[in-house]
Amino acid sequence: MNDVSRADYRATYLIETPFPLEQAAEVLAGEQSSGTFVRVAGETDDLRARSRAVVTSIQQLGESAIPSLPNAYLERRGVGGPYKQARITVSFPIDNVGANLPTLAATVGGNIYDLGEMTGVKLLSLDLPPDYVRQFDAPRHGVAGTRALTGRDAGPILGTIIKPNVGMTPADTARTVAGLCAAGVDFIKDDEVMANPPHSPLAQRVDEVMRVINDHAQRTGRKVMYAFNISDDLDAMRRHADLVASAGGTCVMASLNWCGFSAIQALRRSTPLALHGHRNGLAMMSRHPALGIDFQAYQALWRLAGVDQLHVNGLGGKFYESDDSVVASARACLTPMAGGDAVMPVFSSGQWAGTVPATFAALGGQDLIFLSGGGILGHPDGPAAGVQSIRDAWEAATAGIALPEFARQRPALAQALAFYG
């Protein structure tokens, strides 16, 4: 391991291997920079000094008699355990990549997963120098801009999800939106599998929904943010974003993993709208503890693409993720990169008034979008009571008062606790 004096960024990994840790770490560093840990023709000392990734730390964590992942490379060679786990940090030359987001992602998360020496590899985090970060597209709006666009200067931004993919027409969707605006939500979004289907064409949905939202804004002075799902090919996304902007909309949503870095970067450069990043599919890259990418590294890459809001799941929700993991994800979003604005974390999945106290206690603040589907739409007294129950819960949490006690004077919260609790 060497000191590095050139301009570098660092990536930290969890690795598992039956080989000596130093050897396996050098294989990873070589594969993602100068090509191999064995010198080849033309690989001079000067070339290696300029382009070779350097392993800067290795911390052994433990070992197992059983590999985390299958490995035919090792089977062919008759190599068995024990399989050692370690956290390693690798320093990569910025000049190998430049301000090229797809290539940055390919460098820190490409062929590392194919390496025969490994029975587990997970990208845990990225440490990017401020001067390097500033070469990319920062979030245009982030936390401060999202608050400005929703007119919610303090407290959580409360929202819900409409699933028009179940067959709702644009007119049906607009009627639901009208009820939600009247109920007092700040934010509404399409479902991730709802984009531009024949039964609800996006152009018609935008027209119908924005007519309702604009009318509500004229009456109240506050415009509800609607995140229209425009996930599609890049040309279509640009057209759809222009359509939303011309109708007076403030936000569009994209399924990040399926649209890709380049498309999101191009969309960020072509629209003034807030970009709502939906992470659906991330679990296939993060759920296994010894494979894929941790959210800390994931969110860093998407922030370079210019996403303003990013899903983090929710506490006590319906998905597999632990509460500690969700909180760590939200904190990562709220940590500024290179002095820029933070990204607004989006809590969703089984959220209702009862999950508020733990969310506030863990996050220590209210910079978040709190999405509640059934917790609002399923409230026995209607959506307005659902919204009020959640606002009551946030008021109780910030005051340090237990929900049952606070609910004695708040009927919407009392009903929520009795119905969902």
Contact 103, 92 (CB under 8 A): no
> How far is 33 from 303, CA to CA, in rounded Å?
24
Residues whose CB is less than 8 angstroms from the CB of residue 415 and which lie 6 or more positions away in sequence, other chains included: 379, 380, 381, 385, 389
CA distances from 260 to 197, 233, 236, 249 (A): 21, 10, 14, 23
Question: Which amino acid, one-letter code, is at 240?
Answer: H
Amino acid identity at 43? E
Q: Going by C-beta distance under 8 Å and a sequence separation of 6 or more, which residues neighbour residue 71?
A: 116, 118, 119
DSSP class of residue 134 equals: T
Cα–Cα distance list, 211 to 5, 173, 178, 251, 302 (Å): 58, 12, 10, 15, 32
Per-residue pLDDT of the chain (421 residues; tens, 9 = 90+): 444 468 999 999 999 999 999 999 999 999 888 765 556 666 666 666 678 899 999 999 999 999 999 999 999 999 999 999 999 999 999 999 999 999 999 999 999 999 999 999 999 999 999 999 999 999 999 999 999 999 999 999 999 999 877 789 999 999 999 999 999 999 999 999 999 999 999 999 999 999 999 999 999 999 999 999 999 999 999 999 999 999 999 999 999 999 999 999 999 999 999 999 999 999 999 999 999 999 999 999 999 999 999 999 999 988 999 999 999 999 999 999 886 779 999 999 899 999 999 999 999 999 999 999 999 999 999 999 999 999 999 999 999 999 999 999 999 999 999 999 8
> Taking the model in full, what pTM does it have?
0.94
Q: Which amino acid is at 377?
A: L
Nearest Cα neighbor of 21 from 13, 31, 9, 33 is 13
